Amino acid sequence: MDFYKVSSVEEVKDTINSNFSISLGKELIDLKECNDRILYEDIVSPLNVPGFKRSIVDGYAVKCKEVQGASESMPSMLDLKGEVIMGKMPSKSLEFPGECMYIPTGGMLPEGADSVVMIEYTDKMDDTTILVNKPVAFGENVLNEDEDVELGETVLKAGTVLKPYSISMLSSLGIIKVPVICRPKVGIISTGDEIISPEEYPKPGQIRDINSYLLYSSVIEDGGEAIFYGVIRDDYEKLFETAKKANEECDVVLISGGSSVGKKDQTAKIIDELGKPGILLHGISIKPGKPTILGKVKNKPIFGLPGHPLSCAVVYRIIVRYFLQRMMKFEEVEYPIPCKFSTNYHKAKGREEYLPVTIKNIEGEYIAVPVLTKSAAISGFTKAWGYVKIDKNVEGIFKDQQVYVYKFQR
């Protein structure tokens, strides 16, 4: 395949969709451990919630017809028959006209009652007599037994990312073992003679490893299991063996560096020689991130990512994350922030550009300010809140033009 016969982002996604059909299995995990995990299957309620009629206020359980027409000038007088104890069935019922029972928020409605009068609209004359100053409608201040969740209702769809509110729903249904999609195993390899580990002190010409930790934490954030295979020098045999091992042990392999066409850039050759069909595409029409590789070996994807940190971050965000979400049957819905652009910005036609920006709030209006940095610099995306996508056939952005800012991280 010819290098820089570049593909558009949409063409890359089409290539992914037509070449890979990796399915991840299911595992049952404890309810307390499922935050940020993705549901494997629909959750159908096995019961009604709350399961009984309960009060949503502190007050008095009544028959609504007993307080019809009640007012401060002419209150309804009711006989207090007792009180509802939280967590227990009422020991008494309203059997005769003019009866009521005190009920706390969450208490079970006694037999014979159909509504609850808020305590604010009552006065207690003595231990057995309550004055009601306001009428209630049938069912007012009462939550029915199936009003929250109904038996047989699909409460959570497969592909849902579990968060505290959805986890509390599972808790209310008594589901303590949750079916989630297995985490995809993502192997991470960094390559380059100039790359050293963070604990080492760089000599002239050396740089500490950035991309391994960028990719490692990004994979974890996106629900994967990251496996670090280390920094491999520009040694063809060692890099080949490491990539082969990662391909055998993982669902996805990310190789950072060596994706361009320099003397020591060997990633493309290694992917092609690992197995058929090898490289599917080499070069994407985006900025930053053009020298990106997508390969296929043993029906598994191998991505050759640019060594420059900002380029690597953008390609991960736009392409690799798309693949991982597709594997996990999850489609993220993004809600970009509309902003005014702070300045005139020119770009060359022919490539989509993902421009890092910060957001400022100036007199109640959101302003997107570009973070102008080279793709080799780490500071660009550490300063940026998100990015603006500029279509490939657009030559730039005008000052005060409306743009949409997408967040870099979740």
Mean pLDDT for all residues in the chain: 92
| Residue in the structure block whose two tokens are 């020689």 | 273
Closest C-alpha among 19, 16, 25, 14 to residue 298: 19
DSSP 320: I
Encoded amino acid at 322, one letter: Y
Query: What does the DSSP assignment read for 63-114?
Result: -GGGGTT--SSSPEEEEEEEEPPTTS--S----STTEEEEE-TTPBPPTT--
Domain boundaries for CATH 3.90.105.10 within the chain: 27-49+147-181
Q: Say if residues 252 and 303 touch (Cβ distance below 8 Å).
A: yes
Name the segment(s) of the chain with CATH classification 2.40.340.10.
Answer: 337-407
Crossing angle of helices 236-249/267-274, nearest 10°?
A: 50
pLDDT bin (cut points 50, 70, 90) of residue 380 is low
Q: Which residues contact 287 (CB under 8 A, 6 or more apart)?
A: 347, 351, 352, 353, 354
Task: In the chain, count H helices and then E strands.
Answer: 8, 28
Q: Does residue 376 have a pLDDT over 80?
A: no
Domain(s) labelled CATH 2.170.190.11 in the chain stretch across 54-143
CA distance 165 to 201: 46
What residues does CATH 3.40.980.10 cover in the chain?
A: 9-24+183-327
Contact yes or no for 39/162 (Cβ under 8 A): yes
Top CATH class, 54-143: mainly beta
Query: Looking at domain 337-407, does it have CATH number 2.40.340.10?
Result: yes
Question: What is the band of 2 on the pLDDT scale with cuts at 50, 70, 90?
Answer: very low
CATH architecture of 9-24+183-327: 3-Layer(aba) Sandwich (3.40)
- Model confidence pLDDT, tens digit, residues 126-162: 999 999 999 999 999 999 999 999 999 999 999 999 9
pLDDT of residue 206: 87
CATH of domain 27-49+147-181: 3.90.105.10
Write a three-state SS string for 4-23.
Answer: CCCECHHHHHHHHHHHCCCC
